[in-house]
Structure 1
């Protein structure tokens, strides 16, 4: 991927509600209520994202993605810079 594409991914992530995002599944993580993603942490919560029709694994993926995609993309950019600076080509 080109740096511009990677930077666009970071830009989109930065527009989303800040992490962390934590997935809560009824009967797995709590006894009653709905399945939701809690945004922010317990001491500084933002809003909850509720789902009415979603697979539990998809909900977990969405929450995990918000937390790690910016880090993964930043690491790719960092490694590409190292490769470019060392004049190694693949």
Structure 2
């Protein structure tokens, strides 16, 4: 297993979360949260009772139902922001390199179109609209056939 979770692995974790009994889940530990009976994890469905679990185990399992979907959403949002920022930086770098060309080699109308195409291709790989150097939106180009 690699250190970085793949999108497929995140999808598997998300499927397990979605397949589990609905939340919220709450730990009710006998002697701490109530007296008499057993320790349980209360769910939107049937309560979960475990053998040999510590208070920390009950708390961890109960909170995982709410925490994992939130962590997945946060991770996906951070990845998307990171990809978008990287693509925008690449687009800016390409634009900077074009601007370094001698004035005689520049046809700004063509070069701006080239940059928009490059940014459009990068946006296609990120899966979202990006902004060009003038902060104007560039839609992802459709997939090549």
Q: Name the TM-score, length of structure 2 as normaliser.
A: 0.54
Report what 1:8 is aligned to. Answer: 12
Give the C-alpha shift of residue 64 in structure 1.
Answer: 0.7
User: How far apart in 1 are the matches of 2:50 and 2:7?
Assistant: 34
User: How far apart in 2 are the matches of 1:83 and 1:51?
Assistant: 40
Unaligned runs of 5+ in 2: 90-145
Larger radius of gyration: 2
RMSD over aligned Cα atoms: 1.5
Paired residues, what number?
84
User: How far apart in 1 are the matches of 2:85 and 2:51?
Assistant: 50
Equivalences for residues 71-82 of structure 1 within 5 A? 71-82=70-81
Say which structure is richer in strand: 1
> Is 1:19 matched up with 2:18?
no
Report what 1:43 is aligned to. Answer: none
Report what 1:49 is aligned to. Answer: 48
User: How far apart in 2 are the matches of 1:84 and 1:29?
Assistant: 45
> Is 1:86 matched up with 2:85?
yes
User: How far apart in 2 are the matches of 1:10 and 1:51?
Assistant: 24
> Is 1:65 matched up with 2:64?
yes
User: How far apart in 1 are the matches of 2:52 and 2:9?
Assistant: 31
Whether the aligned pair in 2 keeps the contact of 1:34 and 1:51 (CA below 8 Å) is no
Give the C-alpha shift of residue 7 in structure 1.
Answer: 1.7
Give the C-alpha shift of residue 4 in structure 1.
Answer: 1.8
Structure 1 outlier segments of 4+, above 6 Å? none
